[in-house]
Amino acid sequence: MSIITVELGARSYKVIVENGLLARAGEHLAPLSRGRTMAIVTDENVRPHLATLQASLSAAGVASEAIILPPGEGSKSWATLELLTDRLLDLGIERGDHVIALGGGVIGDLVGFACSIVKRGCGFVQIPTTLLAQVDSSVGGKTAINSRAGKNLVGAFHQPALVLVDPTTLDTLPLRQVRAGYAEVVKYGLIDDFEFFEWCEANAAALLAGDADARTYAIAHSIAAKARIVAEDEYETTGKRALLNLGHTFGHALEAEAGFSDRLLHGEGVAAGMALAFGYSARRGLCTGQDVARVTAHLRAIGLPDSAPAANINADGTTLVAHMLHDKKMDAGTLPFLLARGIGKTFVDKSVELADVTRFLDEQREMAAA
Ligand code: NAD
């Protein structure tokens, strides 16, 4: 078992990682239940795990009520938020209660946001069931829904009270989703941990094949990295937390071009985006062509896209940069970019000219077509 504490003063919380934890979740949740019925919010695809969780709560003497939403990004909407907050209020949720978010990043983001506004903020617990949610979205307190203007544009910082991670829940997750989540794992190596990148090169295949040790190590290591960064910069004001956005600006443009649909999963966009961030860094003379080749070779080896065309996006630079202008990181007309001086040496550059990024993306497109 690994226990990682996210150190945030009065809002500190534990992330527990353990194979089989879901079946014992009741022991950890009973103290938060205050003898009241706990609401569990999940989606249709997570039903088998809901049964395990409810059985474990029952065994610990805790009654529960499940709210089952449709799966998919579409649930991060005003309509579903309204439905969910109404259901929670109908259940009589109080500020001191803890709602359980059981699912991937969609459920975690939606439930976290609902809990930030119900009764001006009630408690919640994250039980992430996708690799992406286990290594990234369940920790750190960013919550959001999508709006007409774009993805994750309406939300709040609201930290969970506890995060329970059971890597065995990934046994039912489709391989494409596991791979997409892996992009966020290797991201931690690329940001500031060269040794972990080397570990990823050596162990990614085992991890994707479901090797329990590799999976658990990668999850606990990733959470520890995220916890350190969040503890330093909870509200993304000093620039430290912005490092977690490596690959996200390029990736966001690709995802937007794909209509934020199953055509390109978030992690797939991030993978191609990280390759583009390294490619652009090399073009600026910041890192070497060997660095780029090593990053792209690893992404390709595990079946993740390493360029816009590999992600089936053939739009030109102008189109992709236009998507970037809707990025929520836009700051008084400039867009901070995560660039790299090498693998594990990422930094924020606020002086990137979008015209130069446009040229770079057009060059990449021409090279792929040649
Ligand atoms: P998701 O929640 O849509 O899950 C992917 C799919 O897997 C869904 O169909 C879901 O029903 C299914 N699923 C979940 N667990 C399963 C399981 N154990 N077995 C079988 N199927 C299962 O997507 P995701 O990739 O987990 O999360 C993506 C979302 O996370 C995006 O909305 C993104 O914006 C958000 N995100 C948030 C943060 C943050 O810090 N808050 C960080 C990264 C991403």
- The number of distinct structural domains making up the chain is 2
Q: Whose CA is nearest to atom 38 of ligand 1?
A: 137
Q: Is 152 in the pocket of ligand 1 (CB under 6 A)?
A: yes
For the CA of 76, the nearest atom of ligand 1: 32
Tens digits of residue pLDDT in 91-122: 999 999 999 999 999 999 999 999 999 999 99
Q: Whose CA is nearest to atom 30 of ligand 1?
A: 105
Cross-strand pairs, 229: none
pLDDT at position 198: 98
Total-model pTM: 0.97
Q: Are residues 160 and 184 in the same domain?
A: no
Q: Are residues 191 and 297 in the same domain?
A: yes
pLDDT at position 331: 81
**Boundary of a domain, candidates 143, 172, 201:** 172
| Cβ proximity of 114 and 99 under 8 Å | yes
Q: Are residues 119 and 216 in the same domain?
A: no
Q: What is the CA(72)–ligand 1 centre distance, in A?
A: 8
Q: Whose CA is nearest to atom 1 of ligand 1?
A: 104
Instruction: Round to the nearest angstrom and report the end-to-end CA distance of the chain.
Output: 51
Domain enclosing residue 48, as ranges: 2-172
Q: Are residues 189 and 338 in the same domain?
A: yes
Residue 19 falls in the annotated catalytic set:
no
Residues in Cβ contact with 328 at an 8 Å cutoff, skipping those fewer than 6 apart? 150, 152, 153
For the CA of 49, the nearest atom of ligand 1: 18
Q: What is the mean pLDDT of the chain?
A: 96
Tens digits of residue pLDDT in 189-231: 999 999 999 999 999 999 999 999 999 999 999 999 999 999 9
Q: What is the CA(243)–ligand 1 centre distance, in A?
A: 21
**Could you tell me the CATH number of the domain that includes residue 293?**
1.20.1090.10
Tens digits of residue pLDDT in 230-241: 999 999 998 899
Q: Is 245 in the pocket of ligand 1 (CB under 6 A)?
A: no
Give the pLDDT band (50/70/90) at residue 45. Answer: very high
**Could you tell me the CATH number of the domain that includes residue 152?**
3.40.50.1970
Residue 75 CB-density burial (10 A; 0-12 exposed, 13-18 middle, 19+ buried): buried
